[in-house]
Chain A
Amino acid sequence: MDIKLQNILQKVQKPARYSGGEYKQIVKDKSAGLLRVAYCFPDTYEIGMSNLGLRILYGLLNARDDVWCERVFAPWGDMEALMRENAIPLYGLESGDSIRDFDIVSFSLGTELSYTTVLNMLDLGGIPVKAKDRSDDDPLIIAGGMCAFNPEPLADFIDLFVIGEGEEVLGEIIEAYKLAKSQGVNKTDFLEAASAIGGVYVPSRYDVAYNDNGTVEKIVPQRGVPLPVEKRFVTDFDAAYFPTDTIIPSTGIVHDRVVLELFRGCVRGCRFCQAGHITRPVRARSPETLTRQAIESIQNSGYDEITLSSLSTSDYGGLFPLCDQLLDWCESRKVSLSLPSLRADNFSVELMERVQKVRKSGLTFAPEAGSQRLRDVINKNVTEDELLNTCAIAFSGGWNGVKLYFMLGLPTETDEDVLAIAELSRAVLDTWKRTAKNKHRGVRITVSTSCFVPKPHTPFQRELQVTMAEYQRRVDLLRDALKSSKAITYNWHTPETSFIEATLARGDRRIGAVIESAWRQGAYLDTWSEYFSLERWLQSFEQCGLDPAFYATRERAADELLPWRVVSSGVSEDHFRCERERAQANQITPDCREQCSACGVAELATGGVCHGQK
């Protein structure tokens, strides 16, 4: 490491985030002419290293002997300022080489609020942020992840998007890149060739026309490119690569433990949930595979905790056999097991009892809405009885804290629905009074609300977001209703970030100018409240002549062409329309195990991997 970098690492907080050198980082021969990939995560080291996708793709790419993939994270403000001051370009942690000298620079997009961080990372690497300003000498800039399901806001900046899961398609892109490089093909021609790869969206190959009112008039694909681009996904998930021998950070990260991925997709179909829709169909690993992966991971890492990850862990069919097998192995070795994303049903507590034999920390549930009517609207099929029974079992079993998460501003929400959150919380408190064994220890019930953000590729993709003032009014209403209960704490997220998130989530290509303007005015690490500034975003919208309300708080007409129709998750527009109508009629839709709702994914799922089609 050069002295200039060592010098600034002595001045920043947590320098271990910037030094590399962790156990199992992969270092290859710089002089071997390998294809160099910078895997950029547009957030801090602690967040990025906790991302399973990064570990999977890092492992897969480095398993190839023609590729060297390195990690790049967003430096915190102190480091960023010193890097600029000392002209140190953003570098790969493994080699210390500037990302400008890589072949491919890839971004993982997990949240819309990371867009300004993407731009700043490119700029810190000395790479022009706009695709049209880059030459053939600059790296190829690609992006994937959840937010790529609406790629349009970043269309000006990214050369190529990967839609869906990256395991297979990244390899295909690399093959195409190598071929192009060996033939001396320029970037434009390479992108033309790459647009033929399934799941690849090359924004420069599409033209978008707008109506006078600002809505999309038409999306015109240039010769030979598909419309829409269908997402890619791994069909045989049980056999899919899982990194059991992965980097162990030398400094604390957010999820500092083994993370097992039980399944992808979700049978539930909650109407607000983007993840649940874009990751269909459900594909699970067998308990045997998972147990083997868990044991290998623990032995290779030295971690003493395993967490079971998925969108809805209690829906995993083999959960009991899996937990039994894992507990058998873990208990004698002092390895603990944790289960996030549990539903508020009886099954879950029974499981928690088995798993958390020693420590009884808090329980967390997300009913999302206070009234049964509104839970039916969003298709969150949890009843009040289920929630209260679950709490009763938990309280009588010694738990003395519950966290309840809700959204405000859901479609059709009335003041009655808001007040129902208070009633439900008090019912939980009454349940505690009735069932708790150790009343002298007291109880902590924490109610949290956030502002609903409508997302693309969901039944609610055409819904409006309530204004910030309206959200605040509903917060005040709920706060008043909860005032009398000392045992209930109410926390609410401020609506400012949700508002900007809503503009970006359903943005079109024109909003790219706003992102660039916000970044030029200093926007960076917007997911962090230390850095986020609503004022700066509003100014940027104004400068670009765009109205944030057009994107966030406007309901889209049923026939409006949505910008993200350039890509398809496999779930059909018909399904979204049908689900929206059912929502408006307070009708629930059974989960995929009970009845297929013909969402359209089954047609993608050749090989019969869709749930119930086996």
Chain B
Amino acid sequence: MGKNKLRLRFCKTGNAKYISHLDLMATLQRALLRAGVNLRYTEGFNPHPIMSIALPLSVGCESVCELMDFEPEGVLPDNLNDYLSEGITVTDAYVSARKFADIAWLGIRGSLVFDGDIDELQACFGQESIIIQKKTKRGVNDLDIVPFIRDIEFHAGDMITMTAKISAQNPTLNPEHLMQALEGDLKPDFTTFCRTEVYDAEMNIFR
């Protein structure tokens, strides 16, 4: 473990939501170099900077609570955000002893364009079990997602707002899995999601 291990908390919103995980790593690495921050590199034939982002977001999903561990040489400048592209904003940088493996729940907020009644959506997620097909490394498996969703709520508005907490790891759910429950008549015309917070197993905010 390097001595200068830092955790960066940042938002990835707007057009930046289309940046893939791999491209985001390169984007952040370059932004840090532009800001004059050198990173510690791995040793070996093909050195690459040591950086790790917790729970990669899917392309198209926004977040206001991304976390990245890295090992800078020296201190971070205050104006780091001046070196970042539109939609990526650093909100905090701190030392943390907690491991990403402790993250258990993700807060999400969705905006849905849906012609039907909001109660139908609430009712759908009120069922005792919802079986979806989830792709894993070993193929496609059936999964009951109900045990892995907490506090799901829908609110009316210009677009319907959905908030929920979903399982972050073992299994990892993402908003698209929830939307699979709405296939058919309940399928929204448009959805967009944002990751709002990360929690540990006791539903305390993870930092």
Contact = CB atoms under 8 A, between A and B. Distances in A.
Given A301-B30, A302-B29, A19 B15 contact: yes
Q: Which of A3, A22, A250, A252 has the most CB of B within 10 A?
A: A250
A251 B47 CA distance: 21
B124 interface: no
Nearest to A256: B26
B16 interface: yes
B34 to A, nearest CB: 4
Contacts of B19: 16, 250-251
A19 B19 CA distance: 9
Interface stretch (A6-14, A115-123, A308-316): A6-14
Interface stretch (B84-92, B134-142, B162-170): B84-92
Contact of B60 (A9, A251, A299): A9
A112 B19 CA distance: 32
Contacts of A302: 29-34, 83
Nearest to B41: A334
A252 B47 contact: no
A44 to B, nearest CB: 15
A298 B26 CA distance: 14
B113 A21 contact: no
Interface in B1-37: 14-16, 18-20, 22-24, 26-27, 29-34
Contact of A15 (B22, B38, B59): B59
Interface in A280-305: 299-304
Contacts of B45: 359
Interface residues of B, number: 33
B94 interface: no
B59 to A, nearest CB: 6
B16 A301 contact: no
A602 interface: no
Contacts of A256: 26
Given A19-B15, A21-B86, A299 B23 contact: no
A9 to B, nearest CB: 6
B34 A19 contact: no
A209 B59 CA distance: 56
A3 B190 contact: yes
Interface string A267-284: 000000000000000000
Interface string B73-88: 0000000000111110
A21 B16 CA distance: 7
B52 interface: no
Interface in B60-116: 60, 83-87, 113
A593 B2 CA distance: 55
B192 interface: yes
B23 A250 contact: yes
A61 interface: no
A300 B46 CA distance: 24
Interface in A1-51: 1, 3, 6-7, 9-10, 14-16, 18-23, 25
A250 B85 contact: yes
A248 interface: yes
B190 A22 contact: no
A502 to B, nearest CB: 38
Contacts of B192: 6
Contacts of B189: 7
Given A250-B23, A252-B26, A22 B59 contact: no
Given A252-B23, A302-B33, A16 B18 contact: yes
Interface string A494-538: 000000000000000000000000000000000000000000000
A16 B23 contact: yes
B189 to A, nearest CB: 8
A20 B60 contact: no
Nearest to B86: A21
B18 A22 contact: no
Nearest to B37: A302
A20 B26 contact: no
A300 B26 CA distance: 15
A15 B60 contact: yes
Interface string A244-272: 00001011100010000000000000000
A334 to B, nearest CB: 7
A10 B60 contact: yes
B85 A248 contact: yes
A558 to B, nearest CB: 54
Contacts of B46: 359
Nearest to A300: B34
Contact of A23 (B14, B23, B84): B84
A18 B18 CA distance: 9
A256 B85 CA distance: 16
A10 B31 CA distance: 26
B42 to A, nearest CB: 12
Given A15-B59, A21-B16, A301 B34 contact: yes
Contacts of B16: 21, 250
Nearest to A17: B18
B45 to A, nearest CB: 8
A359 B44 CA distance: 11
A20 B34 CA distance: 20
A445 to B, nearest CB: 23
A16 B38 CA distance: 26
Nearest to B19: A250
A304 B24 CA distance: 16
25 contacts: A1-B15, A3-B113, A6-B192, A10-B60, A14-B20, A16-B18, A19-B15, A21-B85, A21-B86, A23-B27, A23-B30, A23-B83, A23-B84, A23-B85, A25-B86, A251-B19, A252-B26, A300-B34, A302-B29, A302-B32, A302-B33, A302-B34, A302-B83, A303-B33, A333-B38
Given A23-B31, A334-B41, 12 more contacts: A1-B15, A3-B190, A7-B190, A9-B60, A15-B18, A19-B18, A21-B16, A23-B86, A252-B23, A301-B30, A302-B83, A359-B46
- The 4 A-B pairs of least Cβ separation, nearest first, read A302-B30, A21-B15, A302-B33, A23-B85
